[in-house]
Structure 1
Amino acid sequence: MIACIGAGVIGGGWAAYFLAQGHDVVAWDPGPDAEARLRRIVEAARPALNSLGLPDDGWGSLTVAGSLAAAVQDADFVQESAPEDLELKRSLLADLAAATGPDTIVASSTSGFPMTDMAVRAVDASRLVVGHPFNPPYLIPLVEVVGGEATAPAVVKGAADFYRSIGKSVIEMDHEVPGFVANRLQEALWREALHMVANGDATVEQIDASITEGPGLRWPVHGPCRTFHLAGGEGGMAHMLDHFGPSLQAPWTRLGAPSLTPELRDAMVDGTATDRSFAELVAERDRAVIAIRRAVEDARRG
């Protein structure tokens, strides 16, 4: 049985995925409307998961517990998805470490905090590990797994093996990296986008199109490094670096974070405004990601 602690967008997405993989899930969230919100998230994810070949008749059961202790008392694996608040994470992970059995792995969905910083209040931090997903967890395969200084190596491996067993693509880190891997890469792109809007270099619409109609089409297949390897022709990455290396010194990028002025905030909000509902956009995204995943899988099979 899997316990999902926190039932927001991430926790609910995890619950939907675990259920679709046939696991029984017990969830807990202190919010007054947590159960209704969780069930809405699960039901909204169901069509996408069905489309991925996970029919309703193979799903596990969902229970919402009245307390944290009740949620985790029989858990084999715990996925914590509380808000990104360091003090909250510290207290919650300490409680989870104390309330779970000696063989239960407790994984945090944190998107930024290292486990070493979050585990400081846990009496036994050896079973605490980061299992960082990407939104939505029921659809995006990637999970970054990394332990803290006190995490047992067997726990890191155990968490990684568990995620792989349910169809996740795992980056198993051997040490903590500030901001993790994928977040740092997408943060660099995000900062550049904010700078270009702030400086009037490009609109939000132009920036989004530059990715969806450009390099974004290549990244599901090869990623940024292999993409540049192919850009070097038959000479590969070596030719790419030798030929274009000097341009790396060109003052194109502004990787420092721009000031989030009211004007920049308004420009970003206005640029992403739409008459379409949140549910419509989520459904479109899910259909598109499924189609892309299927197309990439077909291409790799030849």
Structure 2
Amino acid sequence: MNYTHTACLGAGVIGASWTALFLASGRSVAVYDPSPEAEKTVREYVETAWPTLTRMGLTENGTPDALTFHASAAAAVEGSDFVQENVPERLAIKHALFAEIEPTLKPGAIVASSASGLTLGQMQGGWTDPSPLVLGHPFNPPHLVPLVEVMGNERTGAGVADAAAAFYESIGKVTVRVHKEVPGHVANRLQAAVWREAIHLAKEGVASVGDIDKAMWAGPGLRWAAMGPTACFSMGAGPGGLQAFCDHFRDTFNGWWDDLGQPHLDDETIALIVEGANEAAGDLSHADMLERRDAMIVAMQEVLRPYRKV
């Protein structure tokens, strides 16, 4: 199935970004969000994102005009082949939404949830038959960052997770498969681990918040944008590969791991990192930082595209 007609339920930052990407890929998109400002904000988001999507070569088959807005979630999903759910991460809200749309879903339609903090099993509680539901967790903003974490389980229909992954890949996404339910899935846990140590270093006065961020983007972050940490370390000890690296650095890493901090986001810690982040940002506004972030993400992907094999 080509999944030519899609729906986005919830049109905040994530939903609007998905909408822009689906439109760019040549799909029509039906949007539902209870906010009276939803249509205005989504159309403005798509208009702003479109030149960037064009620069990335993603709009050749798409048009921003294949967009409709609906007064209910049930109306939005009617006739849709693929539904991306992005409503607030509260189980009661998600369960109520799923109960509303289940009777009107097109046979064979897939519903993918963008949830980052809830598990697939928790969300399946809102269904009579949860076979159409998969996890389809993106990284923000979905129209620029290619990652999607896809998961099905024993209650997911046969082939549904595979079909969802194939759909995402057809619109330029990079998918990873999650095989076991854990809070935060995969990528969020990785970044949470790094951020925890960044906060620990700041609290201990080892370096400023700005310099800790700089140490990431100018060092390991640059390598990790090309390859993941395990692949990078496999090249760190010469022809002997990862085995040689582990043999050489076993005690070093064990010592570092034993010394890693375990800070918590209490009021004092939050105040420390907020002050540090504001100092590092200087005169840049929130909008300035968003623009700079997005421009750099696009530029990196353009440069890396000829080398990327996934």
Specify the TM-score bucket, using the shorter chain as the normaliser.
Answer: over 0.9
Instruction: Using the TM superposition, give the Cα deviation of residue 160 of structure 1 relative to its aligned residue in structure 2, in angstroms.
Output: 0.8
**What is the aligned partner in structure 1 of residue 135 from structure 2?**
130
Q: Choose the corresponding residue for 2:49, options 45, 52, 55.
A: 45
Instruction: Using the TM superposition, give the Cα deviation of residue 199 of structure 1 relative to its aligned residue in structure 2, in angstroms.
Output: 2.5
The yes-or-no answer on 1:28 pairing with 2:25 is: no
**What is the aligned partner in structure 1 of residue 289 from structure 2?**
281
Which sits farther off after the overlay, 291-300 or 1-10?
Answer: 291-300
Task: Give the Cα–Cα distance (whole angstroms) in 1 for the partners of residues 232 and 259 of structure 2.
Answer: 20
What do residues 217-244 of structure 1 show as CA deviations (whole Å, max 9, x unaligned)? 1112111111111112111101111111
Which sits farther off after the overlay, 60-69 or 1-10?
Answer: 60-69
**What is the aligned partner in structure 2 of residue 290 from structure 1?**
298
When residues 80 and 15 of structure 1 are mapped into structure 2, their CA distance, relative to the original with a 3 A threshold, is same
Q: Which runs of 5+ in 2 are unaligned?
A: none
Task: Give the Cα–Cα distance (whole angstroms) in 1 for the partners of residues 158 and 59 of structure 2.
Answer: 35
**What is the aligned partner in structure 2 of residue 80 from structure 1?**
85
When residues 110 and 49 of structure 1 are mapped into structure 2, their CA distance, relative to the original with a 3 A threshold, is same
The yes-or-no answer on 1:248 pairing with 2:253 is: yes
**What is the aligned partner in structure 2 of residue 6 from structure 1?**
10
Contact 1:204/1:272, CA 8 A, preserved across alignment: yes
When residues 14 and 136 of structure 1 are mapped into structure 2, their CA distance, relative to the original with a 3 A threshold, is same
What do residues 109-164 of structure 1 show as CA deviations (whole Å, max 9, x unaligned)? 00121111111121110111000101110011111110143111311111111111
The yes-or-no answer on 1:198 pairing with 2:203 is: yes
Task: Give the Cα–Cα distance (whole angstroms) in 2 for the partners of residues 175 and 153 of structure 1.
Answer: 17
Give identity over the alignment, percent: 44
SS at match of 1:107: strand
When residues 156 and 248 of structure 1 are mapped into structure 2, their CA distance, relative to the original with a 3 A threshold, is same
Which sits farther off after the overlay, 34-43 or 75-84?
Answer: 34-43
Q: Which runs of 5+ in 1 are unaligned?
A: none
Task: Give the Cα–Cα distance (whole angstroms) in 1 for the partners of residues 180 and 267 of structure 2.
Answer: 38
Contact 1:94/1:119, CA 8 A, preserved across alignment: no
Task: Give the Cα–Cα distance (whole angstroms) in 2 for the partners of residues 167 and 35 of structure 1.
Answer: 25
Q: Choose the corresponding residue for 1:176, options 171, 178, 181.
A: 181
What do residues 268-299 of structure 1 show as CA deviations (whole Å, max 9, x unaligned)? 22222233233322221222112111222234
Contact 2:85/2:114, CA 8 A, preserved across alignment: yes
Q: How many residues align?
A: 299
SS at match of 1:144: strand
Contact 1:72/1:78, CA 8 A, preserved across alignment: yes
When residues 276 and 43 of structure 1 are mapped into structure 2, their CA distance, relative to the original with a 3 A threshold, is farther
Task: Give the Cα–Cα distance (whole angstroms) in 1 for the partners of residues 284 and 68 of structure 2.
Answer: 33
- Matched letter for residue 37 of structure 2: D
Which sits farther off after the overlay, 264-273 or 12-21?
Answer: 264-273
Instruction: Using the TM superposition, give the Cα deviation of residue 260 of structure 1 relative to its aligned residue in structure 2, in angstroms.
Output: 1.9
| CA RMSD, Structure 1 to Structure 2 (Å) | 1.8
Instruction: Using the TM superposition, give the Cα deviation of residue 57 of structure 1 relative to its aligned residue in structure 2, in angstroms.
Output: 7.2
Task: Give the Cα–Cα distance (whole angstroms) in 1 for the partners of residues 73 and 284 of structure 2.
Answer: 37
